[in-house]
Chain A
Amino acid sequence: MIASSFEYFAPTSVDEALALLSEHGDDAKILAGGHSLIPAMKLRLAEPAVLIDIQRVEGLKGVSESDGTLVIGALTTHHELESSNLVNQKVPILAQTAGEIGDVQVRNKGTIGGSLSHADPAADWPATILALDADLKIVGSGGERVIKATDFFEELYTTALEADEILTEVHVAVPAENTTGSYLKLHQVASGFALTGVAVVLTKSGDICENIAVGITGVSDVPYRASEVESALAGRALTADNIAAAAEKAADGVDILEDIHASEAYRSNLAKVYTRRAIEGAAS
């Protein structure tokens, strides 16, 4: 319940934050919404000597649209994404995903940037961000770079972010009219995290699946794109049989987690059933 002592800084610009990061190196941690970091610090699972609170940094909050792309500031909260009109109109699966995270209070504080950076294997955002093929803007002392979501998640709680880098924006291309999405989640009953979460983004022409992207979280150490499912369905008719056959491949080739809440066999089954239902949801 009581964290170890640390020094606290509240920079107001990205540059200032980066300078602090370079100065304190591995001793420092970024604090965004604090809803993964502070719980870990209270249990002394994390004991950073320096905390760099970026909440007061200008320009990292909110959602805007520019050139057919939604630009989401890293500090945008889950609640803001859940309730934003722009998001609900342009990329409703983002709002739907946000609404599945934790509870009201968690959504009021937790940020999309914090969630992606934290890379909890049972977090919700990764599934949807993968399925939307988002780009992530990262700044560091060496400058700025943009990487694909598919290149971002590396291992359990590990991303492509370097210790001296900050995730600043998430870029999501606004999908075409005939594109629909669906995020479906089975909550771990205690924590509320995803036992399995499946995000499907589907582009139809008539009954044919023109394009499909499936992001899955909660099933493996690292969230993943179910490419076997995608290739089994892309270009084919969206019949119940085709969807079911494709969904059967949802856990192909992945190392599946097992814990007291779900066995490997059960998680694998969930991945398949939830993938099928999410595709059906997006297709209908």
Chain B
Amino acid sequence: MNKSRKQINTTINGEDYTHEVEPRLLLVHYLREVAGLTGTHVGCETSLCGACTAIVDGQAVKTCTMLAVQADGAEITTIEGLAQDGELHPIQEGFWERHGLQCGFCTPGMIVAAHQLLERNPNPSEDEIRHGLEGNFCRCTGYQHIVDAVQYAAEKMQG
């Protein structure tokens, strides 16, 4: 089996990582078990729930639907990488301010997806927010406070 292991290099939240991995290792398991970043969650097996969302080379992706080997050379940002110098990212702040979470399990993926959304569309309508978060399930909130949270962040980020 060792012969088929691959070495991969990644940068995660600004830090460099090098590991040998089995090709079948999913990126989400790499993040959680190898890199020790457990903020990225696993909520399904069918690539639908979005709990595993992280940013890989600027794109929000479901890391359960990507192999770690595909991320060789990639720059990755996970939920742990959003706050800077102890300051919450405005989206994180929005989720806090607007009660955009309950159990919090969907939240990292939701925040990362919202990050992509606001990057592409800094001033989204409610409808656009809902569409932008279609790939992220939340069973607790009914989404309304999540929408409010993203609106809060959009305003804040626009200054």
A–B contact with Cβ pairs below 8 Å: the answer is: yes
Task: List A residues at the B interface (Cβ < 8 Å).
Answer: 1-8, 10, 31, 34-35, 38-39, 41-43, 51, 53, 55, 79, 83, 102-106, 108-109, 190-192
Q: How long is the Cα–Cα vector from A15 to B65 in the complex, in angstroms? A: 27
Please state if B60 and A105 are interface contacts (CB–CB under 8 Å): yes
Q: How long is the Cα–Cα vector from A106 to B69 in the complex, in angstroms? A: 19
In the complex formed, the residue of B with least CB distance to A79 is: B59
Contact (A34, B65) CB under 8 Å given A55-B70, A103-B50, A108-B59: yes
Contact (A35, B6) CB under 8 Å given A7-B23, A104-B132: no
Q: How long is the Cα–Cα vector from A135 to B33 in the complex, in angstroms? A: 45
Residues of chain A with a CB closer than 8 A to B26's CB: 1-2, 42
Task: List B residues at the A interface (Cβ < 8 Å).
Answer: 1, 4, 6, 22-24, 26, 42, 45-48, 50, 53, 59-62, 64-67, 69-70, 72, 113, 116-117, 120, 132, 134-136
Q: How long is the Cα–Cα vector from A5 to B4 in the complex, in angstroms? A: 9
Contact (A6, B135) CB under 8 Å given A38-B67, A104-B60, A104-B116: no
Please state if A5 and B1 are interface contacts (CB–CB under 8 Å): yes
Please state if B135 and A1 are interface contacts (CB–CB under 8 Å): no
Q: Tell which of A1, A51, A104, A190 touches B45, judged by Cβ atoms closer than 8 Å.
A: A1
Q: How long is the Cα–Cα vector from A39 to B26 in the complex, in angstroms? A: 11
8 more contacts with CB within 8 A, not counting A31-B70, A38-B47, A104-B117, are A6-B23, A34-B66, A39-B47, A83-B120, A103-B135, A105-B50, A106-B62, A109-B66
> Separation in Å of the B35 CB from the closest CB of chain A?
18
Q: How long is the Cα–Cα vector from A5 to B23 in the complex, in angstroms? A: 7
Q: Which 8 A-B pairs have the closest CB atoms?
A: A103-B135, A8-B23, A108-B59, A103-B134, A3-B24, A105-B135, A1-B45, A105-B62
Please state if B4 and A7 are interface contacts (CB–CB under 8 Å): yes
Contact (A105, B6) CB under 8 Å given A35-B47, A39-B46: no
Q: How long is the Cα–Cα vector from A41 to B66 in the complex, in angstroms? A: 11
In the complex formed, the residue of A with least CB distance to B112 is: A105
Please state if A104 and B134 are interface contacts (CB–CB under 8 Å): yes
